[in-house]
């Protein structure tokens, strides 16, 4: 069968002729698919000058697809990378307000009063839990004790929720910080940060101990904001992979600072 050759003529604008990967990128193309396509065209144009550049059809398609795939992979690395905008969620019935990244989606049936998560990085989410109005009569967040005592209760609740019946599962946890603040609405809030790591054996049914090697399943940072209103305890929860926390801390702090509990009309 005769081979088919696709002839592509590249005439990029002059401003792109000297485009190069960043100095420390190890030759990796830019993440944006449009920039990647321009980068490819510039390199081919420089190699062949103003001559026609002939490539086999399969190679041409590979170049185009690789730029697209790389672009899509890049969007998943950082949940907040393209989320400079936030939306406000106001629950007038239960009495609270929060902010969340505009590209996150709401998940129903997650067990919380409200639950949002990143559509690509499933370990990134925001939720609100509220105590039952019939079984709680909170007057202030200080009913939980000091911020340190509240931190212990928050961590205990997380560990209870993450209990597993699987053999060989082990959890390591620590309280990273606890604090209190009076927000702009004049109410007192507690803030708690904890880290939880989950380990599991690669072969939990193995007889010999050396055959049961523990491996890290996940390592997460959990941030909570606690407030009281309407005789109920409100908890804003944020979850993020520990490895992403430093890069996303600014946005996470902004979400924490924006959380408010509100008086519900009788």
pLDDT in tens, 5-43: 444 444 444 443 344 444 444 444 444 444 444 333 434
Structure tokens at 2: 């005769």
* Higher per-residue confidence, 44 vs 175: 175
Asked whether the beta carbons of 215 and 202 are under 8 A apart, the reply is: yes
In degrees rounded to 5, what are phi and psi of residue 241?
-60, 140
Mean pLDDT, the chain, integer: 78
Radius of gyration over alpha carbons of the chain, in Å? 26
Q: What is the pLDDT of residue 52?
A: 40
Edge to edge, the sheet with strand 170-182 lists 105-106, 114-117, 125-130, 232-241, 214-229, 188-201, 170-182
The helix (run of H) or strand (run of E) holding residue 45 is helix 33-48
Q: What is the pLDDT of residue 133?
A: 87
Q: What is the pLDDT of residue 161?
A: 94
- pLDDT at 141 > cutoff 60: yes
Is 173 buried (19+), middle (13-18) or exposed (0-12) by CB count in 10 A? middle
Instruction: Report the residue count for the chain.
Output: 266
Q: What is the pLDDT of residue 96?
A: 98
Instruction: Using alpha carbons, select from 143, 140, 235 the residue that is nearest to residue 188.
Output: 140
User: pTM of the entire structure?
Assistant: 0.68
Q: What is the pLDDT of residue 110?
A: 83
- pLDDT at 54 > cutoff 70: no
């Amino acid at each position: 069968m005769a081979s088919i050759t696709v002839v592509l003529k590249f005439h990029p604008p002059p401003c792109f002729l000297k485009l190069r990967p960043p100095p420390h990128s190890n030759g990796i193309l830019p993440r944006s698919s449009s920039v990647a396509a321009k980068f490819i065209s510039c390199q081919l144009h420089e190699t062949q000058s103003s001559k026609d550049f002939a490539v086999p059809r399969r190679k041409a398609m590979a170049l185009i697809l690789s730029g697209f795939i790389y672009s899509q992979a890049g969007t998943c690395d950082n949940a907040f990378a393209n989320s400079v905008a936030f939306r406000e969620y106001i629950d007038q019935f239960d009495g609270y307000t929060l902010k969340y990244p505009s590209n996150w989606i709401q998940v129903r049936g997650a067990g919380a009063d409200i639950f949002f998560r990143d559509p690509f990085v499933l370990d990134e989410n925001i939720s609100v839990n509220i105590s039952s109005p019939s079984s709680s009569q909170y007057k202030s967040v200080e009913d939980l004790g000091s911020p340190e005592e509240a931190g212990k209760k928050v961590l205990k609740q997380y560990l209870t929720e993450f209990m597993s019946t699987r053999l060989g599962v082990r959890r390591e946890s620590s309280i990273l910080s606890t604090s209190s603040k009076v927000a702009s609405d004049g109410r007192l809030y507690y803030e708690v940060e904890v880290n939880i790591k989950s380990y599991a054996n690669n072969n939990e049914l193995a007889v010999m101990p050396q055959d049961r090697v523990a491996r890290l399943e996940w390592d997460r940072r959990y941030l909570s904001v606690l407030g009281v209103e309407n005789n109920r305890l409100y908890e804003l929860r944020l979850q993020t992979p520990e490895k992403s926390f430093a890069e996303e801390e600014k946005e996470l702090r902004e979400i924490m600072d924006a959380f408010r509990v509100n008086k519900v009309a009788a």
